[in-house]
A and B are shown apart, each in its own frame.
Chain A
Amino acid sequence: MSDTQPILEVENLCTTFTRGGVALPAVRDVSFNVGKGEVLGLVGESGSGKSVTLRSILGLSRRYGDVTGSVKWMGQDIAQMPERKLRHIRGRDIAMIFQEPMTSLNPLLTVGMQLTETLKAHTDLNRAARRDRAIEMLDHVGIPAAASRLEEYPHQFSGGMRQRVMIAIALAANPKLLLADEPTTALDVTIQAQILDLILSLADELSMGVILVTHDLGVVAQTCNKAAVMYAGRIVEQGDVRQVLRAPRHPYTVGLMRSVPQNVPPRSQLYTVPGTPPSLEALPQGCAFAPRCQSRTDSCMATRPPLESIAQGRSVACFNPVTDAQGAAA
C-alpha cells in the first residue's frame, strides 16, 4: 500500500455504449486510486471492461458512448473536461500505450514525425531540440542506431520494436501516469518480458504511476503493488496485490488463480472457469458471475452484491466470500 496522496482518483465511472438501440453497460461503478509511482494491475477476461476503463479515463470513449462518474487528476475532475483542455493532460500528464503495435502507429508517417509531433504539442522545444529528444527517447527504449531510424516508417520495424517506439512516444513528454493496455499481449513470449521490464524500469526511474491492464495474473504478481479484478464491467475484488493473489476472496479471482498453469502440479488437468462471461446486453439480475459460480445462493441470483470494504484498502463484491482455508485448498 502506498501512503502518498493519490494522483488519480476514479469514482463511480460508468461507460455505456449503444449498439442498434441496445444499451451495453461496458463499465459500471468502477472506483480506484493510483498513487505516485504506484503500479495498479487491472485484471479480467477480454470484454470485462478493462480497456474501456482506461480509455474512459483519458476521455477517448466519449465519442462512442456515455461516460459518467468522476475522474480526478491531481484533484481536478477531468471526466467532463472539454476536449480542448483535456488534450493538454493527455500525453503530457497521462500517457497511454495500446495493445496492438501493428495498428497503433500511423502507417503513413515516419516514426520520427510521430514522436516529435507529441513533443511539439506539449513542449516549447524547437525543431532541432525535438529531434535530439526523439533520438534520446528511441535510444532510451533500446532501439539501436536511433538517429538513423527516425526517417523510417512503422512497417520497417518488428512488432517488439514497434512497441518500444510506442513507449518512446508515450513517455516523450515525461508523463506522471502511464495507462498500459495489454502492452505485451500481441508480442512473442520472449519479447513480452523485455517490454514489461522496460516499462517498469522506466516507471521507476521517472517515478511514474502505471495502470497495467492484463489478463495475466503472473504479470500482476511480479509487477504490481495493487490489483483490481474486473468482471462484466465491474470491479469484483481489489486490494494490495499480495493479499488479493495469496488470499483471494471472490470466487472469480480464485478461479482465475487456479487457471494459471504455474500454480498446479505437473501433468494435472488445466483448470478453467466453467461457463462463459455473460453478454453485456443480457446481464443477469443478480451477481453477474453467479451463473458460473459454484458457491452461489438464491440471493446471488436475485440481488447483486455491492463492493464492500473488508479491510484497509481491500474490498470484495460477494455474499459468500471465499475463506482463507478454501482459497488455500484451491
Chain B
Amino acid sequence: MASIQYILKRLLLMIPTFFLVMIIIFLLVRFLPGDPAIAIAGDRASDADLEAIRERLGLNQPMLVQFWLFVTNTLQGDLGRSILLRAPVIDVIFDRLPTTIFLTLYAVTLSLLIAGPLAFVAALNRNKWPDAVIRTVFQVGLSMPVFYIGLILLTFLAAQLRWFPVGGYGDTFVERLHHMFLPSVTVALYTSAIIMRNLRSAIIEVLDAEYVQFARAKGLPDRLVLGRHVLRNALISTVTLLGLSIGNLMSGTLVTETVFAVPGVGRLMLEAIFARDYPLIQGLTLTFAVLVSVVFLLTDLFQSTLDPRMRLT
C-alpha cells in the first residue's frame, strides 16, 4: 500500500495546481460579456436593485478582493446561486453528479471489456491479420465523433429497433444499466479506441521485455507467462492510461449526455452556457477539475500499490 506520507505529499502538490485552476475559472467568468447583475435581476430591474445585487455579489470590489471572496466562498462550499435553476449551485451539481459518475464508471467498465481482450489478441498476433483487422476497426472508431456514434446508436438501436429506451434514467440499478447502456457504449467506443491503441503497444513492449523472455526461458507454461508476467505489467500501463484519459472520457460524457438527454453535469454545462448562467458555469468547471484531479490521485495510488518500485517514496 501507498504510505500515508506519499498521499500527503501528493495532496500538498495539488494545492498550487488548484490555486491556478481557481485563477483560470475566476478570470474566465470575469470576461463573460454582459452585466451579471442584469442577468440575475432581469432587464427591467431598477438601478437601485442592480446596485444591491452588485453589492451582495461583491462586484463593486477590486478584482483581488473579488478573487479572495471567490476562493473563501468556494472553500466553504458556497458556489453561488444558479440563475437558470434558481437554486444553490452546489445543490444543483450534487443533484446531477451521481448520474455522470454512474455513466463514466459504466463507460470505463465497458471500454475495458472491449479494449482489453482485443488488445491482447492484437498484440499476440502482431502484424498478422487479426491485428490488422482490429487496428483498422479501431482506427475508424477513433475518427468518429462521439455525437455521431451516439446519434447512430440512438437512431438504429433505440428509435428503430426499440431495444433500448430513447431517454430517461431508470429507477432501480438494473433499469439504470438498461437505460444507460447506449450512452455508455457511445463513450466506451470512443475511449476503447484510445485504450486499445496504447494497450496493444504496452503489451507488445512487455512481451518483448527481457523478463518475459527469461520467464519463457525458465520453461513456464504460456498461461503463467501471460497471466502472471505480462498481464500484471500491462495492467499498470492500462490503469495509468485510463487515468490520464479521464479528461477525454469526461469530454465524451459531456457530448453523450447532450445527445441522449441524460440529466448529468455534462448536459447541465451546456444548458448553463446557453443561459449564460455564470455561477453555474463556474461551479461546473470547478467540478470537472476536481473530478479529474481525484482520478489522477487514485491512479497514482493504484500505481504505487501495484508497483513495488514506487512504494518507497
User: Interface on A for B, CB 8 Å cutoff?
Assistant: 55, 58, 60, 83, 87-92, 95-96, 98, 100, 103-109, 117-118, 121-122, 153, 155, 166, 169-170, 173
A153 to B, closest residue via Cβ:
B308
For A90, the chain B residues whose CB sits under 8 A away are 216-219
Q: Classify chain B: how many residues form its interface, as a range.
A: 20 to 34
Q: Is the CB of A83 within 8 A of B222?
A: yes
Whole-angstrom distance between the Cβ of B80 and the nearest chain A Cβ: 48
B208-239, CB < 8 A from A: 209-222, 224, 228-229, 232-233, 236
**Bound Cα distance from A234 to B174, whole angstroms:** 66
Q: Does B56 contact A (CB under 8 A)?
A: no
Q: B307 within 8 Å of A by Cβ?
A: yes
**B residues in contact (CB < 8 Å) with A:** 209-222, 224, 228-229, 232-233, 236, 306-309
A74 to B232 CA separation, bound complex (whole angstroms): 36
* CB closest chain-A residue, reference B233: A108
Report whether B211 and A104 are in contact in the complex, using a CB–CB cutoff of 8 Å. yes
Taking CB as reference atom, which chain A residue is nearest B225? Answer: A87
Asked whether, in the complex, the Cβ of A87 is within 8 Å of the Cβ of B221, the reply is yes
User: 22 pairs across A/B with beta carbons < 8 Å?
Assistant: A87-B216, A87-B221, A90-B219, A95-B218, A98-B214, A98-B217, A100-B210, A103-B209, A104-B213, A104-B214, A106-B212, A107-B233, A107-B308, A107-B309, A108-B236, A108-B307, A109-B228, A109-B229, A109-B232, A122-B219, A153-B308, A173-B219
Q: How far is the CA of A122 from the CA of B219 in the complex (A)?
A: 8
B211 touches A107 (CB 8 A): yes
Cβ 8 A contact of A105, one of B211, B217, B221, B307: B211
Contact status of A96 and B217, CB under 8 A, knowing A103-B210, A121-B224:
yes
Q: Which residues of chain A are near B309, meaning CB under 8 Å?
A: 107, 153, 155
Which A residues are CB-close (under 8 A) to B211? Answer: 103-107
Residues in A whose Cβ lies below 8 Å from that of B220: 87, 91, 117-118, 121
> Do the beta carbons of B215 and A88 come within 8 Å of each other?
no
Closest to B224 in A: A117
Bound form: Cα–Cα A109–B221 in Å: 17
CA distance A95 to B219 in the complex (A): 9
The chain A residue with its CB closest to the CB of B212 is A106
Per a CB cutoff under 8 Å, which of A92, A105, A121 touches B214? A105
B135 to chain A, nearest CB (A): 17
How far in angstroms is the closest Cβ of chain B from A201?
Answer: 22
Whether A89 and B219, one on each chain, are in contact in the complex, defined by CB atoms closer than 8 angstroms, is: yes
In contact, A58 and B214 (Cβ under 8 angstroms): no
Residues from chain A with Cβ under 8 Å of B209 in the complex: 103
A183 to chain B, nearest CB (A): 12
**List of A residues within 8 angstroms of B229 by Cβ:** 106, 109
Q: Are B219 and A91 in contact (CB under 8 A)?
A: yes
